[in-house]
Structure 1
């Protein structure tokens, strides 16, 4: 029987108001959620979600897509403004976060192999996904730098990680699915540092200003598995690993950011049916993402980073379709010197009409340190 293509439209356009001062720049250099259904669950089902984002998070989930699907996510790329004080080498930071610019952060297509080639099994997915973003403008009226006094100091840092994925997933016997893919990364990095320097006699002396910008690229691989035990079908467990990605073509900025860390993703979801006479169901999910293999630097320092996310979805059945209601929390710790945590409470709502193969998801996030995101 001919299958109907499915269009899943995920709109996650966030509007954030500046919040109270944070200790340091919120660290989304590697841990930006690209948006979609899982975002409003704190990313709790990133490892198990069956949609076009599986190419980026866990290609094994593609094995359960049995129709063509298109996915699109649109959200903000957060920015921050920082006031510095103290010494240049280790300044005190007082950061305000804001919504920043808005952009498409995911575009994907997935289709069963048999639909594309007339035979075969499994599902192929291709996608573009933004997985990291930093946009900080730091300034100081006065900083000390050894015997020097720096006035009108400014440090501008920007980075954006874009991933192009080609993945394959296949469901096999006993509730197991596996998947793998090729990942091509495009990494934009720019930074500049300027100031007026004065010696102890208050005489202006030269300051070694820096202004560098480049876009590097690199290739990595991703592999994953998805498992639903036949003895406990309410549970689904997912895991994936993406290798670190060495960059090339980034000569101006290679001393600061020359390798995108690898990622280990572990997650599980639990589903309970039977609410309201079988019309509704409940989904609980949790994830752990661990980033590894980064390199130390002054402006974009990378060390190990482990984030956690938990969420719940109550899927409400109504006459015209389904309305999922979601809530969650995500904890993103600092992944390097000069960066701080970004933790948020999340919630959202979606709609899946019965007769039209389109889905819509809206998401909100409220960082615990202040600010408000609205989609």
Structure 2
């Protein structure tokens, strides 16, 4: 896939959305980059407008944001440190903006953006706490006599009364937008989870489907599977059930036998609905697959069905193949050999297991 192509960016975006940690790091990195770049532009403007110490403060803040950006790329504790440093930096520059009032009292207006950054970076709960701390700082300097005595810029009484209220208004809007964003993201995550389940699971039985199996065959490393054995199971005389009791009854048989297989496996393998009335089992390592298959055959045979007041049972035939040396990555070969063994089981008389070992 070519870098800078649409498919490349689409894949990267999907990877970010699928991983909450990566998305959070990317989001915080974007905040550092935007705030740092804005501060750098302000520094350049300040140079030409001869703002003195204000130039050095905004330049130092842009450098600090660049350092945060480098730290967050290292992930882990370095990423956590970058967030802590950014929080301290924001509080320090907030105090400087309020006290200095440079240029002409305009710089303090930028602090109205802080709730947006805080809520986006820390979430609603912690972001609200950070925003309220910053509001307390604003209220201290504008509403408390001792704080007012520290101000170097002659703000008007109207500004000192109204700006903290403006900050609260921006904070309320930021909270509302963040809650909407989190609700939308939660709904998107749930939709993605349901989509992935439907994509990889059979609608009738809830077991894995053939699409899941194909993805395992194509990418065994991704699923960390190195099966010790594979079995293909087929319901004997299934056409007779459909023809005599109807397809809804046939669906019940498939569901019940699928559940019987899962119960017998008890977590020792993954079950997939391979076809209409066929199932496939990928056994985990260190499992006596032959013994498990025999138990499945016995349990299915012992299960009784009642349709149209007629009591009967059905059976399954099993083709089993064991991987050499306890496991293999070539799941396709195992499936092919298990399918051949299944036909031998049918020829042998059904209701049995035919097994062999895959030749290296």
Q: Same fold (TM over 0.5)?
A: no
TM-score range with shorter-chain normalisation?
Answer: under 0.3
The TM-score normalised by the length of structure 2 is 0.22
TM-score by length of structure 1 reads 0.22
Structure with the largest fraction of strand: 1
